[in-house]
Chains A and B, each alone.
Chain A
């Protein structure tokens, strides 16, 4: 009632957290003072000059009454206002990011009181009569299902029941936005729930339907946390991160934490999983020759890595399968069905961080039949292992009847020649004829396929599958011999590589048919024989990252590390650019032409064969400290890739290939095809299609577009999803084609990145919460989430003006002052 007396709204007064008083129409001070002075003087003068004489006291009293009345009028004219401060809650969003990477598929063992608490949260009915405090004593109704529950399963079970789903109550405080994350963000549910809304509809129902499918091949936790926080237009009150803490790609969490802290976004990580290192054996980096000869012994190198076993020596049983058929192996010279490797956990410090080291292992088997085979190497899971997905790896082997035959010609005995000659002679999958142009006349040319003079007839050259031409003076070859090389590649499907040198090649071959064949534009001015005194390292291009010639490891990151670790060079032949349609695999780090970094290694299809150009001449430097390992592997891969035209299919008119023969699930596959018509002329179709068949998937079609500037060549891409064996077949409108000639197989293996030491990274998550001002909690404590984030609610003040000029009390004062003069005069008999 009192508020109304002063003309104020009692409801506003009740809501307000404060107030201020203002005049809405106040005159300037001098005007107020002048008006007051004039009024007082006027009133005094009026009463003083009144006809009936007034006593001094009467004049004063009457003047005062008049002044009060006029003052009230002025107060009303100046429009007094009370501005109430009304607090209003701001709309805010709470991000909830739930990890759906593959590591969330791990079913951990939970122990002790924490395990008991988790069981009570997940299985309240099964544990309501249980008074224990140790997971080992859990009733079987809870213990048995919990053993099988993966991290994702725990999250799903928590979410599916409104009573245990903390997001349901959180959605009353915030607009909740739930997204799953691993490789990218995927929206799962969002909304705001008004108090009292039913749990069976609206956002509450959506939140109970959030389901985590642990399929992500990798986790970009840092990147995606930043992305989720930055793309939102709403105010982000905070972020809840439900995860095992593994962030194996992209920005590290510490950097993301600084970003979020600067934006006032606290993170509340909820850790899922066991923080103790899991016991796991991983088999990885399987390497075997992709093309071997019939009855060859195929060496298979692979890494075995133990985690969580400490220094204990763990016997790991390894088996090899072809389909479901076990394959006999050789281990240390003994024939075995099961190879046993005693390995212990090995640690090393790298960049101040302790990392596990794999143990290099080797078995061998005999290639007994001609054809394409997918072998599967399996490390038998040990009883205590929780992850079996990283215990096996598949690798393809093509068994051919004959060895790859290489003709290697060089001009001078440069060290590249001396080392490559020996590497090729040692490679049992090859036969090599070496020809050193500068050798003494009576010097017996070397090699495992003796050669006295260079081939001068097509049938002599046709013996070979690949020709390598080093720094050879052009005068060594007649024009007919150069034309022979052209036919060898174009018609016979042979491979040809030219490795540049400072004296002759490729400079002397400008204007010849060799220039036409090479994937490099060699029309530039050429090279100086002088090299540099400073070392530089070639740069692997994105195409080189996955190309069969330059891929040393199935894992892209590991491949780049290998390349980074190789010794650099001091000389290169400056090629301006590659030909249209050629693939550039290596470039110079600093030397550029007007078209970009100068290419160092490039390759292209040419006719039914393939050509390559290498603009450096010192790959022997890669032998530094480590011997032939990468040097021989590189050249083996280059030669095998170039030789495919002679080995693939029965027809030289078609070729379909992928950039690699093995991929990790989720990786992109580049498909290339070469199509010649019946006259061996390049196809002129604008596009062709290929049918892709894979185990457990419906067949689908991929479009391959014509490569500009390279008639007959086509390129397309597809993304793998499920692991397994894939077959690509060109869809050509020509009856009676041999399926083998127009198809190609490759393998997709599961990604293992998610299973590298996949324990709960509690320390990382705690650091994230501390850096951003949030709070970490284990999944069993998720009930603490709502009170923890309650403080994130924020309010603002709304100003509510409340006018007082019409306040009853002012009217009452005015009336009192006005009418009291009459009363006073009557009492004093002054009327």
Chain B
């Protein structure tokens, strides 16, 4: 007797046997992802980032006081290395970031200090959502819930968000900040209205051009690397894994990624690659293989002797460029839950 397979099972095999848990599909190649040089750069970078934390736990924009968005990004940089509140080499730094962000959540849920706006709110909310599960602090959940409600309440009729916490206009850059924060919050058991996500996806898709790239504002300017990275990430975090828009966006990114090694990313290198690294990690395969080593080696070369990274093009400050660089380099650790499918 010979055991035979129905044709449908072949299809199942094709779909089901891949490492679905590993978006980049790199489990077997993982040791090559973070080279010894990259590891040394990460170690020095985290040490530097810890050294510039304010006594109140904050990180600042260039020339101004503590900023919850930058603090959230710095907190994410520590979390990405496996440090969680109270645990790990930088566990105390994470806790201090958390304390600072919590302190700056307004009653209406807006996370702000000084002149910070919705960009910062998105980054800070994302950090709260990621840290909440490991802090166990009910206050964090309460503030996170409020921050999520604010995001839901400030979505404009098109489905996007912009600089100010009002439902007026929208751009893809601020929108991805909010969508990513909502995804992380949902992972933590915070109820997010489905309609908000659906509308957000609609807005992002409206921003896509025929070449697969995304424009900054729906129906306005042409495609760009940074905004396409943001658009692709928006679709991934909204769960649009199989949409044709996402695939076209990924291909556009891959075609235009040369800035990873030249420092050219339309003036926003760190911002662009913060999203590009996530998009390529989610895309996996040839995309990740072709992208990550280039951006990794570029960042290793660009690190200053004291462990810091200077801004490349526009940069809102030292803490920002360091936090972004560290998040980019540490994606292969696969520690941030939001990076999971």
Contacts and interface: CB of A to CB of B under 8 A. Distances in A.
B136 A412 contact: yes
Contacts of A366: 3, 5-6, 9
Interface in A344-382: 360, 362, 364-366, 368
A431 to B, nearest CB: 15
A440 B17 contact: no
B314 interface: no
Nearest to A630: B27
Nearest to B81: A624
A417 B190 contact: no
Interface stretch (B83-91, B153-161, B215-223): B83-91
Q: Which of A471, A628, A632: most chain B CB closer than 10 A?
A: A628
Contacts of B12: 297
B33 interface: yes
A689 to B, nearest CB: 37
A315 interface: no
B162 to A, nearest CB: 27
B145 A628 contact: no
Interface in B79-137: 82, 84, 86-89, 91-92, 132-134, 136
Contacts of B337: 415, 418-419
B22 interface: yes
B334 A533 contact: no
Given A325-B1, A443-B190, A623 B335 contact: yes
Interface in A494-542: 501-503, 529-535
Nearest to B19: A627
B20 A426 contact: yes
B95 to A, nearest CB: 10
Nearest to A445: B189
A222 to B, nearest CB: 31
Q: Which of B22, B31, B33, B341: most chain A CB closer than 10 A?
A: B22
A804 B24 CA distance: 101
Interface in A589-636: 618, 620-621, 623-629, 632
A501 B84 CA distance: 14
B277 interface: no
A438 interface: yes
Interface string B136-163: 1000010001000000000000000000
B285 to A, nearest CB: 14
B82 A567 contact: yes
A626 B5 contact: no
Given A415-B337, A419-B340, A529 B82 contact: no
Q: Which of A415, A422, A621: most chain B CB closer than 10 A?
A: A415
B3 A533 contact: no
A570 B22 CA distance: 24
Contacts of A334: 10
Contacts of B86: 529-531
A625 B5 contact: no
Nearest to B7: A335
A337 to B, nearest CB: 8
Taking residues whose C-beta sits less than 8 angstroms from the other chain, chain A's interface range is 35 or more
A627 B82 contact: no
Contacts of B88: 531, 533, 535, 570
B21 A423 contact: yes
A570 B91 contact: yes
B133 A627 contact: no
Nearest to B31: A625
B5 A328 contact: yes
Contact of B16 (A297, A365, A502): A297
B28 interface: yes
Contacts, number: 149
Nearest to A626: B30
Nearest to A438: B189
A368 B2 CA distance: 11
Given A366-B9, A422-B340, A625-B334, A328 B2 contact: yes
Interface in B21-39: 21-22, 24, 26-28, 30-31, 33-34
A422 B82 contact: no
Nearest to B32: A625
Interface in A425-444: 426, 428, 436, 438-443
A413 B187 contact: yes
A31 B19 CA distance: 106
Interface in A8-24: none
B191 interface: yes
Nearest to A320: B3
Given A333-B14, A366-B9, A570-B88, A325 B3 contact: yes
Given A442-B191, A621-B82, A624-B334, A533 B21 contact: no
B44 to A, nearest CB: 18
Interface string B305-316: 000000000000
Nearest to A620: B335
Nearest to A421: B187
B210 interface: no
A360 B30 CA distance: 14
A359 to B, nearest CB: 10
Contact of A623 (B16, B145, B334): B334
B241 to A, nearest CB: 13
Contacts of A629: 19, 22, 27
A297 B19 contact: no
A414 interface: yes
Contacts of A450: none
Nearest to A369: B3
Nearest to A423: B21
A571 B13 CA distance: 39
Contacts of B335: 415, 620-621, 623-624
A327 B4 CA distance: 7
Nearest to A504: B136
A422 B334 CA distance: 14
B188 interface: yes
B231 interface: no
A770 B72 CA distance: 65
B296 to A, nearest CB: 13
Contacts of A426: 20-21
Given A328-B4, A567-B82, A621-B82, A632 B133 contact: no
Contact of A533 (B22, B89, B145, B332): B89
Q: Which of B91, B145, B189, B332: most chain A CB closer than 10 A?
A: B189
A440 B91 contact: no
Contacts of B189: 413, 436, 438-440, 443
A531 B30 contact: no
A570 B87 CA distance: 6
A419 B28 CA distance: 19
B17 A362 contact: yes
A372 to B, nearest CB: 16
Q: Which of A299, A328, A330: most chain B CB closer than 10 A?
A: A330
A535 B332 CA distance: 19
Contacts of A567: 82
B236 to A, nearest CB: 15
B87 A625 contact: no
13 contacts: A325-B2, A366-B5, A413-B133, A415-B133, A422-B340, A426-B20, A440-B145, A440-B191, A533-B92, A623-B334, A626-B30, A627-B22, A628-B21
Given A297-B17, A440-B191, 15 more contacts: A295-B9, A325-B1, A366-B9, A413-B133, A413-B188, A414-B133, A415-B84, A438-B141, A439-B189, A529-B136, A535-B88, A624-B335, A625-B332, A627-B22, A627-B30
**Which 5 pairs across A and B sit closest by C-beta, in order of nearness?**
A439-B189, A531-B87, A627-B22, A628-B21, A413-B133
Interface of A: 295, 297, 299, 322, 325-328, 330, 333-335, 360, 362, 364-366, 368, 412-415, 417-419, 422-423, 426, 428, 436, 438-443, 471, 501-503, 529-535, 567, 570-571, 618, 620-621, 623-629, 632
Interface of B: 1-6, 9-10, 12-14, 16-17, 19-22, 24, 26-28, 30-31, 33-34, 82, 84, 86-89, 91-92, 132-134, 136, 141, 145, 187-191, 332-335, 337, 340-341
